[in-house]
Amino acid sequence: MNTENVNILKWMRDLYPDDHKYYTFLKKVFRHEFRKNWFRRISTPILENTQLFEKAFLNNDNLLKELFSFKDSLLWKVSLSSNATIWIIRSYITEELEEQIQPIYLYYMDKYLDKTLKEKEFHEIWCEIIWEKDPILDSQLMFMAYEVLNAIWLWDNIKLKINTLWNEKEMEKYLWELSSFYENKKHILSEETLEDFNKNPLSIFNSNNEDEIILAKNAPSIIKFLKKDSKNHYLKVKEYLNILNLKYKEDNTFILKENYYDSTIWQIETISNGEPLIYWWRYNSLSKKIWLEKETPASWFKASIINIISALKENKIKLKNKDKTVLYFVQLWEEAKKVVLPLSLKARKAWINTLVSLWTPSMKEQILKAQRIWAEFVVMVWIMEARNWIFQVRDTTEWTQEEIRKDELIDYIINKIWKNKLDFYSPIKDLIKE
């Protein structure tokens, strides 16, 4: 096929049906965990005023480069979503969510865009706790994340690492010490790393250069610069982790590139290749940077869906086929269609998982499709069968074939598969009327 004139954006990606099976499954697993802990779902707009990000990022050029920004028809400068954290705080303030009973527990599942990534579009699941600063919430979110990854059988291939950053005074002393450590080592750094380091010394911990990674392990740790309150918070987090029997590793080189977070940060990653699956931080100061006069304690974690799906596949963890077809109708000619269509609808109302071929390829092609989808029973209807109301029914599990009358077909299938195997699920059952 000639695709020369097709505009393919190589830095975007399709999420195909097989991946969507995992994605749908993961959304259910996370949603179940969130609901157990009283989180409620929220969705934010895909566009926001760019000024909001400029305030949050304090005009950090590297962070602003992440955004897809443009001017709308009214010449407002707007940006597409690179994450929802900033918008959640904006919503919290503007929609007066702070007037509700605190703390507020929220979660969301959406797609986001980041210009700096190899694949610009990514699917993620997030949750937020706003208003409360208690260190037990830090540990609770780590526990929730571990619960999900354990539940999906990844317990043998994950590890938790933690670190902390704190208030401006503590960070000021730490950054001075960090800069001093590298003062006589700048000749070792690459030109790009050195340029980023001069703008923000913390960027040194995001280097992918092997020599720079080794050097960073000997750099000063922020923990030595924590004052009483900050140190107590961090110690309490670790104490609760021990109570919850969560194994963790402290890593002073674990620093995230955003600059609107403070306090504890953590990441659960794969042991095999260090891919981040779920990571988290506090951002107590974000609300003050954006709008409010005082800080609003808040924390969140986000799960990288694509990375988790990859981890499941690498560990050869598959999903049951919930779309298994019990009854499959194949037909030839218009007269057969008129018989098959209403009968297939009747079978579905009887809770039999049913598919029907209504197009007109050869019978051979239709039966081949029935085999590919592993249909248990295949009902074949030609013109004579349609007129006589006697169908050929093939049992693909026992490799037998029988003639069954039209008015006996549904009972015949139910008796064959047993009633407990019928598909009784329907979202309509969730409706109630007051």
Query: 374-423, pLDDT tens digit by residue?
Result: 899 999 998 999 999 999 999 998 889 999 999 999 999 999 988 777 88
What phi, psi does 363 have (nearest 5°)? -60, -35
115 three-class SS:
coil
Q: What topology does CATH give the domain 327-429?
A: Rossmann fold (3.40.50)
The DSSP letter of residue 221 is P
The DSSP letter of residue 2 is -
The answer, yes or no, to whether residue 1 has pLDDT greater than 60, is no
Q: In what order do the strands lie in the sheet with 354-356?
A: 354-356, 327-331, 377-381, 390-395, 400-405
Q: What topology does CATH give the domain 17-166+226-314?
A: BirA Bifunctional Protein; domain 2 (3.30.930)
Return the higher-pLDDT residue of 403 and 71: 403
Question: Are the folds of 17-166+226-314 and 327-429 the same?
Answer: no
Note every long-range contact of 269-276, with CB atoms under 8 Å and residues 24 or more positions apart, other chains counting. Answer: 269/158, 269/159, 269/161, 270/154, 270/157, 270/158, 270/159, 270/307, 270/311, 270/314, 271/156, 271/157, 271/158, 271/159, 272/157, 272/314, 275/304, 275/307, 275/310, 275/311, 276/304, 276/307
Q: How many of the other CB atoms lie within 10 Å of CB of 413?
A: 22
**Average pLDDT value for residue range 276-289:** 80
**Binning pLDDT at 50, 70 and 90, where does residue 3 land?**
low
The answer, yes or no, to whether residue 266 has pLDDT greater than 90, is yes
Cα 341 vs. chain centroid, distance in angstroms?
39
pLDDT of residue 6: 55
Residue boundaries of the structural domains of the chain: 17-166+226-314, 327-429
pLDDT of residue 411: 94
Q: How far apart are CA 400 and CA 377, in angstroms?
A: 10
**Average pLDDT value for residue range 112-123:** 74
Please answer whether residues 294 and 197 qualify as being in contact, where contact means their C-beta atoms are separated by less than 8 angstroms.
no
pLDDT of residue 93: 77
Task: For the chain, give the mean pLDDT.
Answer: 85
The DSSP letter of residue 129 is E
**Pairing relationship of beta strands 104-113 and 40-41 according to DSSP bridges:** parallel
Residue with tokens 């093939």: 394
Query: 229-256, pLDDT tens digit by residue?
Result: 889 999 999 999 999 999 999 998 888 7
pLDDT of residue 426: 75
Residues in the chain: 434
Query: 144-195, pLDDT tens digit by residue?
Result: 999 999 999 999 999 999 998 877 778 888 889 999 999 999 989 999 999 9
> Minimal CA–CA distance to 270: which of 156, 119, 163, 150?
156
Q: How far apart are CA 246 and CA 251, in angstroms?
A: 16
Please answer whether residues 315 and 141 qualify as being in contact, where contact means their C-beta atoms are separated by less than 8 angstroms.
no
pLDDT of residue 158: 96
Q: How far apart are CA 241 and CA 224, in angstroms?
A: 21
The answer, yes or no, to whether residue 278 has pLDDT greater than 90, is yes
